[in-house]
Amino acid sequence: MSSAQQLLLTAIRCDIDNLTHLAITADIVGDISHFIHMLQRERGASTIYLASQGQRFNTRRNTYRQHSQQAETLMRQRLEALSQEARPQAAARLLRRIAAVWYALDELGSLRHAIDTFAISPDAATQAFNQLTSGLLAIVFEAADTSIDPDITRTLVAIFHLMQGKELAGQERACGAFGFTHGHFDNAHRDLLNQLVRDQQRCFDTFVEFATPEGQQVWQKELSPRTLSGIAHLRDIACQRTSTTSPTVEEIPDTLSETWYELTTLRIDSMKRVEEALISQLSLVCHRKITQAKDTLADAKAQPCQTPTAPCEQLLALNDTQPLGELTVNALTSPLGRSLIELTQAQAGRLQGLSDELENTRKALRERKLIERAKGLIMAHQEMSEEEAYRFLRKTSMDQSKSMAAMAQTILDLSTMLKRKEEKRSH
């Protein structure tokens, strides 16, 4: 066997090793997804337990804690396998993320004891759970960032943003549970609730952008309009302000906490099913590519050494195999290429950051103008106050899974179209 053939076989074996590691990473992402889901349940139940001074959700919290501990055990076993590899395939950054989370996991027992003894406030307990979940999501982010296969990378990016959006939905559940259990929302929790809703939408928009058509279909199938409508209604109640035409904040019944918890849990469980479908797809893609690479290796071993039939045939074939333009692109996207242009990218990144900040400001101003114009139309045609028009626009955008700016543009476009029809009729 020639040196060239040996190098080719070695390259294929490296591809198989990398793909095998990605398959293991997919399994780790699945375990992290399951553990986060259990933590989210425990966090929500713990919030209600603390806010009610132990009067509610004690049994449910204990059950969820047991589920979290079981999921943690399975996840730790999977992560330990990486540390036991003789020559780890995982990138150093990924291993450092896992090590940091490992230390945080050791503090879970202290957090649970503080909740048992009411030695921590509901907000502080929620924040502690949030920090741990953020660390777990960072592992998924590093897995996506270090993947070298474009198909697998896109799927990992979609999964990461779905998990991030789902985590924000879990934080919203905990925030809402706190307010509804108390029977009112102060300004801080009201603002937090609104911020979490906006941040979720950005995550889900990115998820849809990167998800496969199959993943997008699962997403649309799992979303329940009835559940979303119920949550939107409770969001409106949570964000209402004291006025002469609406109930005072003290009149919000605390029994709504369980209704809120059940509805948001239904929504989060739907997201979990989408997560599971995507992770299953990711695993299938990894194993299919491993099989293809093994078949390529078997074919390469079976082929005898071939002598070129014409002078310089192999030399001339180099350009056919990979044109210079494509070679340049691949060089720029390779790990070595990225290292060589790192300083240039850092400078360009700073300049781009300033440009992005300016563009974001302009975009925010444009969106604010759209919303103000749409709000004016709603006030004129529906005889609503400014606050009522704003709530109506916000609820409609949530019901239709649109941003408020996009919903405002739709209303303005519809108004223009109706005016044109009226003008035609009058002529």
- State mean pLDDT over 296-302: 83
- State mean pLDDT over 222-226: 88
Q: Above 60 in pLDDT, residue 196?
A: yes
357 in the same domain as 275: no
CB 271 within 8 A of CB 166: yes
Q: Which of 3-7, 107-111, 144-148 is predicted least confidently?
A: 144-148
194 in the same domain as 74: yes
Note the pLDDT of residue 119: 93
Choose one of 270, 289, 308: the last residue of a domain: 289
- State mean pLDDT over 133-140: 85
- Among the ranges 208-222, 305-319, 338-352, which has the highest mean pLDDT value? 208-222
Q: pTM for the full model?
A: 0.63
- State mean pLDDT over 157-185: 87
Categorize the per-residue pLDDT at 254 as very low, low, confident or very high, splitting at 50, 70 and 90.
Answer: low
Note the pLDDT of residue 266: 93
Note the pLDDT of residue 305: 56
285 in the same domain as 348: no
Choose one of 264, 289, 314: the last residue of a domain: 289
310 inside domain: no
Q: Above 60 in pLDDT, residue 241?
A: no
Choose one of 265, 289, 313: the last residue of a domain: 289
Note the pLDDT of residue 20: 81
Q: Above 50 in pLDDT, residue 304?
A: yes
294 inside domain: no
Q: Above 70 in pLDDT, residue 183?
A: yes
C-alpha to C-alpha distances, 3 to 14, 297, 305, 309, 346, nearest whole angstrom:
16, 16, 11, 19, 40
265 in the same domain as 140: yes
Categorize the per-residue pLDDT at 336 as very low, low, confident or very high, splitting at 50, 70 and 90.
Answer: very low
267 in the same domain as 132: yes
- Report how many domains make up the chain: 2
311 inside domain: no
- State mean pLDDT over 376-392: 84
33 in the same domain as 134: yes
Domain range for 419 is 344-426
299 inside domain: no
Note the pLDDT of residue 414: 82
Categorize the per-residue pLDDT at 361 as very low, low, confident or very high, splitting at 50, 70 and 90.
Answer: low
